[in-house]
Amino acid sequence: MVDQLVSRLSAPRLWGWVVVVVVASAAVGFPLFDLGREVIGAGSSAALEVLGGDGAWSPIVNTIWTSSLVTVLTLSGATAVAVATGGFSARRRLLVLVAMASPLLVPPFVSALSWVAAYGPGGLIDDGIGISLPWLIGPVGVVILLVVNAMPIAYLIVNAAIRSRGERDLVRAARVCGATSLRAFWTITMPLLRPALLASGAITFIMSANAFGVPVVLGTPARFPTATTRLYQDLVLSADPAAFDRVLVLAAFLGIMTLVVVGVADMSNRDPIRLRTEPSGPRLDSSDAGRGAAMAVAVYFGVTAAVPIVALVMTSFTRGVGLAPFPPNWTFDNFREAFASGAGSAFATSLTLAVVAASVVLLLGGLLVALERRRRTGVGTVAALAFAVPGSVVAVAVLLAYGPWLRDTVLIILVAYVAKFWALGHRPIAGSADAISPELSGAARVSGAGALTAVRTITVPLLRPALAAAWLIVFMFALHEITISSLLYGPGSATLAVTVLNLRQLGDPTVTAALAVLLTAGVGATAIPIVALSRRSGVFR
């Protein structure tokens, strides 16, 4: 089998595969294998002992119920918005899309910080009109912020599903057949949305269960632990050797639950309804349809994104804790102080990590696309699964595998980043490569181009936007990554996000706000070319 494979590969392709396999097993395979061995080695009795104590059990229960609740709330909200705005004109639909999706640009822990700055005690609204939400710190706040963070992706998936089929005429056909609008929704719209709801449900659940930024900002101060925050405390803050057993149990729990959710969603979606690309019936816009829905989206955007971010920015300019975040109290000192407190080197660390991780992933992705003549040989699936593995689990696995040599270095964070973000880079490149019809380079060959010339003059120029988008996406995610780096950093290798977190725990909200604003600005600045590029390459269309 291997002989056959090798004999059919030319030498460069063989070496290409060797590189891919080596990197994949070093970054993903070996660490996860090591983690599995360690968990099994610890034995079921040790695991039961850990679960018997409250230390692991209550975070696991908290993780399950918050994620379930977040999934239900997010799916209901996303479906309601997507259906209610489905009949909007193209321009208004774009506005809805921007309002629903732009919160993606705010890192989850920054968005939690911004809510505290806006609605928490001593926040903007408290200072302005004397209203604050004391329960924001605690389980309610955790659930709300997780919903806010999951909403963009869930909305994008459901909305794309609604738009991609001839649903307008399908619902109309049901109405003509005597179905009321409610009946048409339940018998036509919902069954057709099932695959999208399953997919976004699974993603929402996994994202929420594996979330770290939100619970660490809003849950930990209220002594509301989740699996990820307890794992962080045990691994980073605790000196108790028994705590490490708990780390293993929590990592195993997160990993297994992720696999189960992905598996269940995949199995119940075995027989997906095939989409058709026929004309989908005319759009019949009525200018005042759905005015209520438009208002609701605007209010949602204002309350969940605009006001908190404004509050965070105002806080970042405020002189001293306890002062109202209004112009008379404004200063630039926070930004200066942030850099004085080590943010400068953290910024350099994050930037280096992001650039190197993005470049490695880009090389891997480009190599894979060049090697996979026929797409979908399974490497893409492996990469996607690696992305589903929780950041906490990746970090623990990499720590187990390489800790003895690389503990506390930037390099160990880099290995974990490559493992985690590989799929992010692979998908746009593979998607774009799939979209390039083979006739294009065939036509070049027929026109007299050699094989290499055809790749250079046709394939690469067509792939260029996707390659750039892939690099920028990994760069953006690595820039604000917190889950992995908070578990793996050491003296001198703290990332920007970790520095924000530590400043927060030291209790300096204004300097924290300044640093969080800088971080978000960096992420936002990266996102602009990504959007422009992906529109051109059609990756996300």
Partner 1 sequence: MNAAPALRCRGLTVRFGDVVVLDALDLEVARAETVALLGPSGSGKTSLLYAVAGLLEPDGGEIEIDGKPTRSGNRAIAPEHRSIGMVFQNYALWPHMNAVQTVGYPMRRRGISEDDAAAIAHRLLAKLGIGDLADRLPDQLSGGQQQRVGLARAIAAEPALFLFDEPTAHLDAALRITLQQELMAQRNRVGASALYTTHDAAEALAVGDRVGVLRNGKITQIGRPAEIYSQPLDLWTARLTGAASLLRARAVKVESDRVVVDVLGTSLTVPPIDCVVGEAVDLLIRPDWAELGGPMEGVVERVRYEGPHTDYLVVTAAGSLLLRRSGGPRLAVGESTGFGVLRAWGLPVER
Residues that bind partner 1 (CB under 8 A): 165-166, 169-170, 172-181, 183, 187-188, 191-192, 273-276, 278-282, 284-287
Q: Measured from the CB of residue 285, what is the shortest distance to partner 1 in angstroms?
A: 7
Cβ 277 to partner 1 shortest distance, Å:
11
Query: Do residues 470 and 430 lie in contact, with contact meaning Cβ atoms separated by under 8 Å?
Result: no
Closer to partner 1 by CB, 176 or 506: give it: 176
> What are the structure tokens assigned to 520, written together?
């978000």
Residue (276 or 336) nearer to partner 1, CB:
276
**Shortest separation between residue 193's beta carbon and partner 1, angstroms:** 10
Residue 330, strand partner residues: 318
Which residue, 269 or 453, is less far from partner 1 as judged by CB? 269
* Apex 138 CA angle, 79 and 510, nearest 5: 100
CB 389 within 8 A of CB 207: no
Shortest gap between Cβ of 279 and partner 1 (angstroms)? 5
Whether the CB-CB separation of 360 and 352 falls below 8 Å is answered with no
Smallest gap from residue 381 Cβ to partner 1 (A): 25
Please spell the DSSP secondary structure of 366-378, one letter per residue: HHHHHH-SSS-SS
Q: Phi/psi of residue 145, each to 5°?
A: -70, -35
Q: Which is nearer to partner 1, 92 or 480 (CB)?
A: 92
DSSP type of residue 318: B
Q: State the nearest-atom distance from the C-beta of 295 to partner 1, in Å.
A: 21
Q: Give the chain's radius of gyration (CA, Å).
A: 25
Cβ nearer to partner 1, comparing 223 with 274: 274
Distances (CA, A) of 68 to 71, 143, 205, 411: 5, 10, 7, 36
Selection from 379, 384, 364, 369 nearest residue 433 by Cα: 369
Would you state the structure tokens that stand for residue 100, as one six-digit string?
């629903």
Q: Quick one: 289 or 323, whose CB is closer to partner 1?
A: 289
Report the C-alpha gap between 486 and 494 in whole angstroms. 8
Which CB atom, from 18 or from 190, has the smaller least distance to partner 1?
Answer: 190
Nearer to partner 1, 13 or 172 (CB): 172
Between 174 and 207, CB nearer to partner 1:
174
Q: With beta carbons less than 8 A apart as the criterion, state whether 28 and 255 touch.
A: no
User: Residue 87 Cβ, how far from partner 1 at the closest point, in Å?
Assistant: 11
Cβ atoms of residues 112 and 136 within 8 Å: no
Residue 145 near residue 115, CB atoms below 8 Å: yes
Q: Closest approach of Cβ 83 to partner 1, in Å?
A: 17
For residue 93, the minimal CB distance to partner 1 (Å) is 16
In the chain, the N- to C-terminal Cα span, in Å, equals: 39
Minimum distance, C-beta of residue 540 to partner 1, in the bound complex (Å): 24
For partner 1, which is the closer residue by CB, 40 or 275? 275
Distances from the Cα of 441 to the Cα of 435, 436, 447, angstroms: 13, 9, 10
Strand ranges (DSSP E) for 278-384? none
87 vs 221, beta carbon nearer partner 1: 87
CA angle 78, 80, 82 (to 5 degrees): 65
Residue 172 or residue 319: which is nearer to partner 1 going by CB?
172
Considering the complex, state which of residue 183 and residue 375 has its C-beta at the smaller distance from partner 1. 183
Sort 405 into a burial class: Cβ within 10 Å, 0-12 / 13-18 / 19+.
exposed
Instruction: State both tokens at 39.
Output: 């968990």
Distance of CA 411 to the CA centre of its chain: 22
Q: How far is the CB of 286 from partner 1 (least distance, A)?
A: 6
Task: Report DSSP letters for 244-273, one per residue.
Answer: HHHHHHHHHHHHHHHHHHHHHHHHTTSSPP
Rounded to a whole number of angstroms, the minimum distance from the CB of residue 291 to partner 1 is 15
CB of 194 to partner 1, least distance (A): 8
DSSP 2-24: HHHHHHHS-HHHHHHHHHHHHHH
DSSP state, 508?
-
